[in-house]
Structure formats: C-alpha cells, structure tokens
Structure 1
Amino acid sequence: MASAPFAAARQDQRKRLIRTIQTGRSRLGLDDNTYRDLLAAKSGGKRSAADLAVHQLEAVLKHMRAAGFEPQKPVAAKPREHRKLDDRPEARKARALWLWLHGIGIVRDPSESALTSFARRTCGGVDALQWARRPDKLVEGIKAWSARLLPAKLDARIASMQATGKLPLHITRQSWIGDQFPTRDPAAFATLQLAWQSLDEVDRACTY
C-alpha cells in the first residue's frame, strides 16, 4: 500500500496535469467532442480527465504538446523565438479538426508544423497560420481532403464493430448514414463526421 505522503504527492500531480490539460484544451481550441475523443483514445475509452490515471493524463498532455501546446518554458531552456498559436476562431477550428482527424487515424502528424504545411499548400505558401488571409479556406480544405478518406475509414470501422458484435452484419456505411441522417448529403464532410460520432455512441454503449 502506498504511503500517505506518496499518495498525496500523486494526487497533487494528477491535479496539476488536469489543470494543464484544461489549459491545453483552451489554447488548442478543442471542442467538447474532440477533447473527449482525445481522452478516450489515450485511456481506453474514459471520457473525463477526472477518471484518467496519471500515465494516461501524461499521454494526453504529450499529444497536446505534439499539436503545438507549450504549457511552460523550461527553466533551463535557452531563449529562442517562439511564435504564438493563431487564436482566430477559424484557426482554432482548423486545429480542432486536425486533431480529430489524427485521433481517428487520417492525419499521421498532429503537430502545428504539420497543420502549417497543409496550410502552405492550401492557402498559398504561408509559413504560419497567422499569415493565412483566409483561414476559412484552410478549414474547407481540411474538410474536402478528409471527406475523400473518411468513407474508407467508416467502412473499416463498421466492419470492425460487426466483427465484435457491436453492429448487425447487414449494416453498411450507406445504410447507416441513410438511417441516421436521411436528409443529409451522404458524401459531405459534416455528414461523414456525424456518422463517425454516432458510431462512437454505439461503441460507448457497448463498453458499459
């Protein structure tokens, strides 16, 4: 059994990690679904930071660091130029989309530099999101690009869920979208994202 001082120190560490993660959530512009998907991905399905163990919280924070969040400057670090993250609403939205797509396996590199590289191709050679005159164009570029890849991801996920008994064998991506979102364009990014999130609900219901 852990000693009382050790347990207290461990609890303090958890509290610090949770506070830092909440700051990272705000700085990166993560909406509630994206944030909780990240927690679940790093903890085996838990969607509240309060339920995560220390090593799981550390994994979440590591992911946020890779995405561009810097909680604090190391004391011994040499001075270096640091560009503040673009905090415009559309830039935050682009960052949140980028991280969500990383969480489901479409984006390989969740870092701010990788998003900037995508912006460079989409927004005409910019070297930072701050310099993109049309960050809304970046958001639409991410959506258009990922909409071409999401159908295959959905097909693979449905097959995996069928193999574990979470979905009936007759379900297809087309029938799932048609049943769940009959009035929506089945090829649109927003519909494909909603379809993925509705499968999240099934996954969570089968977990408990």
Structure 2
Amino acid sequence: MDPRQKLIKLIHVAKRDLRLGDDVYRLLLKSATGKTSTTDMTVPELEKALEALKAKGFKVRHKTRPHPNPSPKGRGATSRTVDQEAQSRKIRALWLGLHQAGIVRDPNESALAAYVKRMTGVEALQWLDEHQASRVIEQLKKWGFRAARQAEDRADSEGPRAQ
C-alpha cells in the first residue's frame, strides 16, 4: 500500500476511534488543510490532517507481532486479533451498543474478551464455536433489554414531569 493510501486509512481509523460525525470530521479536515476530503489531499496535507486528529486525542496503535522467543509457557507477546466472522461482528456491535447506552464502561476488545471468558470459559472471541457465540449474543441482548426495562421503570416511578 502506498504512503498516501496508508495515511487516508489511518485518518479514517482516527475518525472512527474519535467517534467524529461526518460534519465535525470535515470541519476538522478543512481547518487543518483547507480541504474537506482526504481524496483531494496531497501527502503533506494528509499528514497535517493526521496531526490535527492526534491533537484531538487520536493515538496511533501499531499492530504487535508475536515475540520471536516465546516464554517457556508458550505464550508470546501477541496483540488481540479482531475476528471478522458474522457472529463475532454481531457480538462486537452489541457490546459497543451497550457501551453507547452507558451500560458497558469499557468498549475495548480486551474488556469484551474478559466478558466472553466469564460467559464461556473461552479466552478469545475468534475461538468461540457457533453455539457459544449464539449464547453470548443472547446474553448481551438480554442485558440490553433488562437495562432498558429498568430505565423505563425508573421513568414511570418518577411520574409525569411538570412542563
């Protein structure tokens, strides 16, 4: 991949990580470079846009590779890979939805993996079989429904609000 494409991809990752709406994202690009689209930018302009995103809190995370000399227990220093199977994507979407609703505090992959391990005893999302993944999906849905029901009950107990 050429450097320009890498920068564009990184800028889009930053947009997602910072949870920027399209209008805010384009304003940020325009203030940094005078352009509202990464496809219209030169490499130096893309670098300026990336620096502006870093100033807003984006941190570039590099993928780690397994350590060439794994420990005696057979565990290398590997990063947690993100499984792209349909059920895994559904689990991740439910998890992030619960986070956006204020139910889950930590939206990170490691927190999701810890939850999956508590539910199934399986260390990583990509190692779940179909039955285990379905069980995790159903539990996440139930958690969301319970939280929504509790919020409704609280709202009902407060009674009608004065206007």
Q: TM-score range, shorter-chain basis? A: 0.5 to 0.7
Judged with a 3 Å threshold, the aligned counterparts in structure 2 of structure 1 residues 113 and 155 are, in CA distance, closer, same or farther, namely same
- Counterpart of 2:125? 129
Structure 1 position 21, deviation (Å): 3.9
Structure 2 contact 66–78 (Cα < 8 Å) conserved: no
What is the CA–CA distance in structure 1 between the aligned matches of 2:55 and 2:147, rounded to whole Å? 30
Matches within 5 A, 1:10-21: 17-21=10-14
Give the gaps of 5 or more residues in structure 1: 1-13, 26-37, 63-69, 170-208
Question: Aligned partners of 1:84 and 1:78: how far apart in 2?
Answer: 12
Q: Secondary structure at the match of 1:96?
A: helix
Deviation of 1:81 after TM superposition, in Å, equals 1.8
Partner SS, residue 106 of structure 1: coil
- Asked if the contact 1:17/1:57 (under 8 Å) is kept, the reply is no
Q: Distance in 2 between matches of 1:95 and 1:126?
A: 16
Task: Tell me which residue corresponds to 1:73.
Answer: 63
Q: Which residue of 2 aligns with 1:50?
A: 25
Give the Å deviation of 1:115.
Answer: 1.0
Does the 8 A contact of 2:87 with 2:134 survive in 1? Answer: yes
Which TM-score applies when normalising by structure 1? Answer: 0.44
- 2:91 aligned with 1:94: yes
Structure 1 stretches (4+) deviating beyond 2 angstroms? 14-22, 46-59, 70-74, 77-80, 151-158
- Cα shift at 1:86: 1.5
Distance 1:157 1:96, change over 3 A: farther
Gap regions ≥5 residues in structure 2: 1-6, 29-51, 68-76
Structure 1 SS opposite 2:123: coil
Question: 1:112 aligns to what?
Answer: 109
> Is contact 1:18-1:50 (8 Å) kept?
no
Give 3-state SS (helix, strand or coil) of 1:93's partner: helix
Q: Which has the greater radius of gyration? A: 2
Residue 96 of structure 2 aligns with an amino acid whose one-letter code is L
Q: Quick one: percent identity of the two aligned structures?
A: 32
Change (3 A) 1:99 1:20: same
Determine the C-alpha separation between the residues in 1 that align with 2:108 and 2:95: 9
The answer for the alignment partner of 1:148 in structure 2 is 146
Residue identity opposite 2:62 in structure 1: Q
Deviation string, structure 1 residues 131-187 (Cα, Å, up to 9, x no partner): 2113122111101122111233457789xxx98xxxx96xxxxxxxxxxxxxxxxxx
Q: Deviations over 1:95-152 (max 9, x none)?
A: 11111211121101111121112212322x1111122113122111101122111233
8 Å CA contact retained: 2:14, 2:53: no
Q: Using the alignment, how far apart are the partners of 2:55 and 2:149 within structure 1? A: 31
SS of the residue corresponding to residue 13 of structure 2 reads helix
Q: Distance in 2 between matches of 1:52 and 1:147?
A: 37
